[in-house]
Amino acid sequence: MERAEALVYLPPEMIQPPLYPLRLSMDRERLKELAQSMQSDLGMVEPIVVRPVKGGGVQLVVGSRRLAAAKMARFKAIACRIKELSDREALLLSLVENLQREDLTWAEEARALAEL
């Protein structure tokens, strides 16, 4: 049975860092590229995932690069999917999201760009 979730727009500064941050560093140039992409007509393709925390507020679960890029681009609000998650579920979701990602090869990127 799936839990209810809500899509809201929140100021990036209101979002607390993840309980267990997986990324120790981010490439500044790639972050700038992401920020520029998010500012384009296409915007942000996928909302970040946050969870409510005790005492109010929300905590980042998935989307640390998108959140950092939104802050860099001085977004007033960012799309957030709010999910009720335990600490364990939040860590698991973050880990799965990062482990299942597979970057495109240079050939795949070139082919897609050629189609544009």
Q: Is residue 52 part of a domain?
A: yes
Mean pLDDT calculated for residue range 68-89: 95
Q: What pLDDT score was predicted for residue 107?
A: 80
User: What pLDDT shows up at residue 98?
Assistant: 76
In a domain, 61, yes or no: yes
Is residue 44 very low, low, confident or very high in pLDDT (cuts 50, 70, 90)? confident
Q: The domain spanning residue 19 has which CATH number?
A: 3.90.1530.10
Residue-level pLDDT at 83: 96
What average pLDDT is seen over the chain?
88
For residue 57, what is the enclosing H or E element?
none
d(CA 61, CA 66): 12
Kindly state the average pLDDT of the residues 49-74. Answer: 95
Domain that holds residue 52: 6-115
Choose the weakest-confidence range: 17-21, 34-38, 96-100.
Answer: 96-100
What is the total count of domains within the chain?
Answer: 1
**Edge-first strand listing for the sheet containing 15-16:** 6-10, 78-82, 48-52, 58-62, 15-16
Tell me if 1 is assigned to some domain: no
**Residue 38 resides in a domain:** yes
Residue 92 lies in a domain: yes
Contact 67, 80 (CB under 8 A): no
DSSP code at position 20 = S
Compare 58 and 40 and report the one with higher pLDDT. 58
Terminal CA-to-CA distance of the chain, rounded, Å?
40
Q: Is residue 68 part of a domain?
A: yes
Q: How far apart are CA 102 and CA 78, in angstroms?
A: 24
